[in-house]
Structures are given as C-alpha cells and as structure tokens.
Structure 1
Amino acid sequence: MIDEKSKYRGEPLETTEQQQTIPKKPEYSEADLKNIAGEAGSIVSDEKTNIFRIAKQGIKKAAEGFDQQKASSIFIQGGFAKRIKSAKDEITWLTDDTKAEIALASSEKQTATTEGLDQELVAPEVIKEQEGDIKISTLSPDDRAGVAAYYQFEIDNHFSDPLSEKQFNGKVAFRQTQIKNNQLQVALAKEGDQLIATTIVVLENGTMGKNIKPDEAWAAGTVVLPEKRGKGIGEQMSLEQDRLAKEAGKKFILTNIADNNYPSMRLRMKVGYHLVGTEQKENEVVYNYRKNLTEVSQKTADWIEKVRQGRLKNFSGKLDELSPNQILIDPTNLEQVNNALQNGYEGIFLFRPEDFSDSDLGLKPFKSNMVIFVRKNSR
C-alpha cells in the first residue's frame, strides 16, 4: 500500500510494511455505530480547530463506510484521538479504547493516512511566561542522532505516522540530504536535555510538495509538547522560521491554515503574517498567509486601542474604493473574506472577545473572533 502522507509531503514513496491491528470487538449494528459517531461528532464540532475537524471526518467515515474496505482508521491510528485529548482533557471518551474501537468495529486491519494541511500543535493562546532555560538550535545534516530524535518526537506526539525500522531509517537519511542541500531546515527547542518543540522551514520549491518562488520560504508544521504549550514557545519557533528564511535570502514566508483553526491564525497574525487568499482543498477551506520579512508589524495594543476608540468597526456591507481602509470581518464569513481580498485588503490580525475587558463601556465590542483587514498600501 502506498504511503499517501509521503506522497503529499513530496518525499519518496514507500511501501507500508507494518500495519497496526485493531482488536476485534463484539458486532454492532450500523445504527449503533452511527449513534456513537453522531454523539462523538457533536462534541468534536464544538471545538474550532483543524485537528478537531479532521477527527470529526474520521468519525463520519467510520459510521458511513460500514464495511472493511471503507471504514477509516484515521482518527485512531493517525493519533487524532490522543491529539484532541491533549488539547482538551475533559473529552475523556476519546481515550476510551472501547468506544474508539466500537466506531471501527467492522475493520480488523487498517493503515492510517493523515494527508492534509500543515498543522501546528500549539496552545490556543500564548499567555504565560516561558519557564526554564529554553535553547533553540538548527539541526546539522551530519547529526543523524539529532534528525532521528526529531522524527521520533513527531511520531511520539502524533504528528507523523508510526514507521517500520526500514522506513524510519530511510526518512532520516532523506531528511539529512534535504538539510545538507538547504532544501529545508529543521529547528529544535530544548529545555535542558529535553526536546520540547520542533519546526520546519521549506526553502526550495517542490520540497515537501510546496510551491514557492525563489524569494519565498514556507513555514511548515510546528510541534510543541502538550505540557509546554501556552508558554510562548510556538511564537519563538515561528520567529526562528523567519530567521532561517532571512538567512537563506528570502523576502517572504508563506503558510496555510484551515479556516477554523483560530489558534494558528492568531499566532501567525500576531507575528506579522497577513491573510492574502483562500482556496478549497477537498472538504476544507484553507486560508493562505504571507509575511513580508522586511517589515515590522503593528503592535497588538495599537489595534486594541483603535477598537476601544471606535475607529475600527465590524464591516458587513459591500466594499468599494470609498470603504474604510481598516475594517473588521468575521473569519467564518467566507463570502465577506473573499470580497475584502478581491478589493485589495489583507487580513493582518485576529481579535478575540476576551482581548477586551468588561470595563470597556460595560460591553465587549464583539461576541466572536474578528479579523482586521487593511487595504494594501494604506498603512
């Protein structure tokens, strides 16, 4: 069976030699499975992040594809159940093997495929100071042990699929070659001797399947240990991606994020990315982000003050040349987002209601997340 994830990442196609086996459970009716999947899906749908959406799709496939050929193991073997558990501990059913296996009771052997967007396992918001002495470094192509540790870190944190020993060694050697040729670079964050975060910046067109121009880099996925999230590490890793891109002579850095992955949107906009486009990928709406590495972004506090003063308001009408240069748009309103992009605006910052205290005129300025869109060349 072809490793679809390797195909997506632009890496060598390999044969999956090892499959995991889901222990067989008592037989359940199709109605039983759909009820379980429906209940689980309703819990997952309350969360507005890409990882929850992917898990929901896996549950749906398990219910609708009620046979050995179609039943999907993506949300079990792809690690999404554990990934969700890390993000929200109270969803305890996701760690209950019995319920998880019930949802896939008709499938005895399945191979996981986790093809999709660049994802980031970071905290919903950077709100705490860093703890301990955190050191960020770049992997050397000659450091095979370091590259192996980075790959194992991704697997252990359910960001990459488990591999056979032969596949693992092949991936490590391939990544060493990519680093040596400066096709990409890998950054690590360590606290003492403990590896706590990894990230990749793509520097050459076609690497990991990314389409970039000579003056562009691509910010690929970032993984932070669950217990270390919310301490500013995700932001530090993003800035390290910038440094590596600038060191390679790049003027811009790009990435894409699912339209409901607000933590990643918030993080990227906070460090200077602009929302510059949208596209449809299978059943996902993807927002494209771009950062000019030669500019300095406006401070968060400045934007908050503009909203407080009433100088920056929600805009829901039709945009034209007389429209304000700076507006607020609900990021879930895809039509309005595209309208703004087509009229020369870029999304540059994501606000949350909790950014404003109740003392601001006794009311919150808005009840949902909002993105600041600014007309290009007006700043």
Structure 2
Amino acid sequence: MATIQWRPEVNVLTVPQSWKIRFVPRDVSRTDDLAAAMVAENPNYTLEDTKTMIATLARVIQKKLINGGQATIDGVVTFGLSFTGRLSSPDDPLPPVDETLHVDVRVLQPFLKEIKQKGIFEKRPVIEKAPVIEEVENTQLHLKDVLSDKSVLHLTGSNLFFNPATEGNECVLEGVRSGRQVQSQFGPISNASIILVPDIPMQNESWQNEYTLSLSTRYSEHGTPRTGVYRQRLRSVLLINGLSHPSGIGILSSSEADLPYVSLLSATASASEMLRIQAVFDIKNNWLLLNLISMQEDGPMGEAVPITANISGALPGFAGSAVSDILINVTDYAALTTLVRDYYYGRLVDVLDIRV
C-alpha cells in the first residue's frame, strides 16, 4: 500500500514562526484515471461505461442542486448549497447569485474514519527551493499589500517563474475566513516578477477583507509542486456606501473573527473619497493610535487619537480631504491590539472607499 505523504512547511503568517503540515499528493486522478480504477475494481463494466456513469452522477447531483435539493452519497459525501452576503433588511432581495451562491461539499465521517484507520503516513523532507514572494504592490493605488477591483498587482521576489497552463502550477488568492480563487489573468512572468490582475474571492462578510497569496510551481516536468506563501496578509478595499451606518461597517479587523473589532458608524464628508485608516501600536505607552491618512505614503494625515479600551469616538480628517471626520466604535480593543502588534508588525491599515 502506498503511503500518504506530508511535509513541514513554514507558516509565514504566524509570529513567532511556526510550521504547518502540507499534504503532498502522489498524483492527480482525473475522470479517465478514476474510470480505469473502477474497472479494475469491477471488471463487469467497460471503461466507457464507467466514464458514462461518472458523468451521469455529476449531472444528476447538479440537477438536484439546481432544483433546490441536497445530494448525499451514503457514507461518503454530501453536496449542498450555501449563501454568503449581508442584507440591510429582511425585506431585501437576494443579491446577485454570482456573488452569494456557493456549493458546499462535506465529507462524511465513515468515509474519513476509514482513511484515518488504514492510511500509512510518511514524512517528506523540507523543500529548500520554493517561490519566494517578497513584495506585492497595487500598481493602481501605488500601495503595498492592498487588493482592489480592476487593479493590477506587481509581485516581486525569487524563483517566481511558472506556467499557469501547466497542471499543478497555480497562483491562489484565498480568503482568511472563506473563499479561494485560482488566478488566471497575468502579464509578464519571470523569476523575479509577476504581473497579476487579481480575481478576488468573496468571504462570508463584507468586512472580512484579509487574504493570503500563494504560488505553486514545478521546477521540473515531473517534480513535486513547491509552494511559496507571501508573508503578509493582503487587505481589500472596504466600501463605505453612504455616510450613516447605525449598525456599523466592520473595519480594522481579523477575518478569523466572528464579529468585527472596530465598526464605522458614520462619516461627515462633502464628496466621495478614498482614504486610509491606520492603527499603530505605541510601544512606549502600550496603547493604540488611530487616525485617518491620505492614499499617499508620507502624505497628509489626521490627528492621531489614543485608544486604550473599548470606546466610541471621532477621528478627524486631514488637510485637503473631503472627509471631515468619521465616527467609529471599538468593540474588542484587546483583540485589535493583538492583531496590530503580533500579526501586522505594529501597524494595520485599511483603505476606505467612502461614497456620498
């Protein structure tokens, strides 16, 4: 019996550094491979019959879902539908299904239990050569580690060259809470640089805006895929549509949380504007400083407000900004401090797209 292979891999998103367990697939079985294996298990069926049965099963499950049902292969797996998104009122219509509808595939315990009992596990050595993403810049906003619609990302580093059309080679944006999207739109690709037009997957809530970026490639035709994960989490632009939000719009939060640490309640603005809000950990005083800043590094910024506990308060705007102030509510100061200090190296920034 072949072994189930795994290897340690650096988790660059944790401080202090830790290692995660990476499954190393021996191969990838597609329809023809699965059909051949089924014929080997039951020679009464031909290869073509088996391929037809696999295709028929896929169509039947799809039709069940289209008709609002749920499909279960007893003891193996369940297929169902789920929605993500947020409604302002119970009377709101369903948002576009391209953004909200998902297919959930849940493996059932009897199937998983037998794999755990019969599997033989083999540790593989740590791979030395792997893609290293050193920096990600949004070329539209000229900011690092920011995702936005209709933008272009410039990735720089080493060992980055890969062919997206080759099986096993992929660049992936993955939501920290949910959502995973293999990227497909690229400009020039080299060992030192990649131009990427990001396809940003939806997460469960609009305020969950943290993403990881990874690149997997093979350095030889039959080599093992090697994956590099960017050390910093990317954060997508947060849309603030309107000036009054009594229920709050989450900002400056971890996508792993069930509720936002900070919410924006209202803004005073004479026109729509894109700006940033930052939270900086003040080591000397052991508190957080929050303020509004412009979209340019080293540009104008508003007065920094010390935050030492859960509190509601206003952050003033800065010279030349159409936004006079915003009102925020800090609901989990302890978690926010940990996030800023331990995961963002003392400075967390969100881009706010405030629309009047």
TM-score, normalised on structure 2? 0.28
Greater share of strand: 2
Query: Which has the larger Rg?
Result: 2
